[in-house]
């Protein structure tokens, strides 16, 4: 199947700093990627839809100025958590689709803000 | 909009016993249905999916799920589990015709297989 690579797999940062997470589709082009957030022992919540060449679409309640998404090419989307705080600590997962019938997920990034 | 309910948050089961994970959904449009498995600190792997056609779908590792439109359910079953099946399982839906594969997930069911 198609491969989606997410980097880094884990990151620890100080409160107030920004962190960038990359999501790459390695062997296919994805016009649409999705970013999810997962709290411990909970489900995945969609944060935003990343559209290549246009602005991301954010879900209700997600601060677009805090979670900056850039989808500059057909194989790369980035999520930047700006001015991170401890409550932003979470597991962030991206997915990319070839079609609307299957998504391929990255390995996830565990963000810890201290 | 869609919503997904997984009725069991945790299911302990003995090795070689059968297991059923329940999933119900609601949606105002037709949906595709998915089951994903997640191992600790990893992303999600697709187990199986229902798009159309036969309501019974199977995975290569012995899982099967049946789409029941009248009951809006997509329960996952395995007749005999292995220790390696210990993981978190997520049921998900996406709207037919939606751009990309935007998924709405259930709360997850943690399966713990005991020897």
- For residue A67, what pLDDT is reported? 97
pLDDT tens digit sequence for B16-33: 999 999 999 999 888 999
Show Cβ contacts of residue B42 under 8 Å, excluding neighbours closer than 6 positions: A107, A108
pLDDT tens digit sequence for B75-114: 999 999 999 999 999 999 998 877 678 899 999 999 999 9
Angle at CA of residue A52, ends A47 and A58, nearest 5°: 20
Q: Is the minimum CB–CB distance between A46 and chain B shorter than 8 Å? A: yes
How far apart CA A38 and CA A40 sit, in angstroms, is: 7
- Show which of residues 31-70 on chain B sit within 8 Å of chain A, judged by CB atoms: 32, 36, 41-46, 49, 51
Q: Looking at the predicted structure, is the pLDDT value of residue A1 above 70? A: no
Q: Looking at the predicted structure, is the pLDDT value of residue B3 above 90? A: yes
Q: Looking at the predicted structure, is the pLDDT value of residue A95 above 90? A: yes
Band of the pLDDT at B65, cuts 50, 70, 90? very high
User: What is the pLDDT averaged over residues B6-24?
Assistant: 97
- For residue B1, what pLDDT is reported? 81
Of all residues in chain A, the one with the smallest CA distance to B52 is A101
Tokens read off for B2? 């869609």
Q: Which residues in chain B are contacts of A41 at CB distance < 8 A?
A: 108, 110
Is the Cβ–Cβ distance between B77 and B65 less than 8 Å?
Answer: yes
| Cβ–Cβ below 8 Å for A97 and B90 | no
- For residue B80, what pLDDT is reported? 97
Of all residues in chain A, the one with the smallest CA distance to B47 is A102
Q: Is the minimum CB–CB distance between B2 and chain A shorter than 8 Å? A: no
Q: Is the minimum CB–CB distance between A99 and chain B shorter than 8 Å? A: yes
Which of A45, A97, A107 has its CB closest to that of B100? A97
**To the nearest whole angstrom, how far is the Cα of B55 from the nearest Cα of chain A?**
16
């Amino acid at each position: 199947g198609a491969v989606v690579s997410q980097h880094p797999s884990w990151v620890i940062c100080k409160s107030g700093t920004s962190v960038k997470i990359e999501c790459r589709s390695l062997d296919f082009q994805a016009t649409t990627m999705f970013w999810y957030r997962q709290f411990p022992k909970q489900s995945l919540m969609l944060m935003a839809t990343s559209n290549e060449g246009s602005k991301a679409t954010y879900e209700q309640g997600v601060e677009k100025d805090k979670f900056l998404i850039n989808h500059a090419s057909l194989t790369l989307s980035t999520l930047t958590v700006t001015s991170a705080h401890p409550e932003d600590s979470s597991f962030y997962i991206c997915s990319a689709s070839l079609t609307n019938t299957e998504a391929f997920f990255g390995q996830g990034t565990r963000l810890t803000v201290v | 909009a869609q919503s997904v309910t997984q009725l069991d948050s945790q299911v302990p089961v003995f090795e070689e016993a059968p297991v059923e994970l329940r999933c119900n959904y609601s949606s105002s449009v037709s949906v595709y249905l998915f089951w994903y498995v997640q191992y600790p600190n990893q992303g999600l792997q697709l187990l199986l999916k229902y798009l159309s056609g036969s309501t019974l779908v199977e995975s290569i590792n012995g899982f099967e799920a049946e789409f029941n439109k009248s009951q809006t359910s997509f329960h996952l079953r395995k007749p005999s589990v292995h220790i390696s099946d210990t993981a978190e399982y997520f049921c998900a839906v996406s709207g037919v015709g939606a751009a990309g594969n935007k998924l709405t997930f259930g709360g997850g069911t943690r399966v713990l297989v005991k020897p």
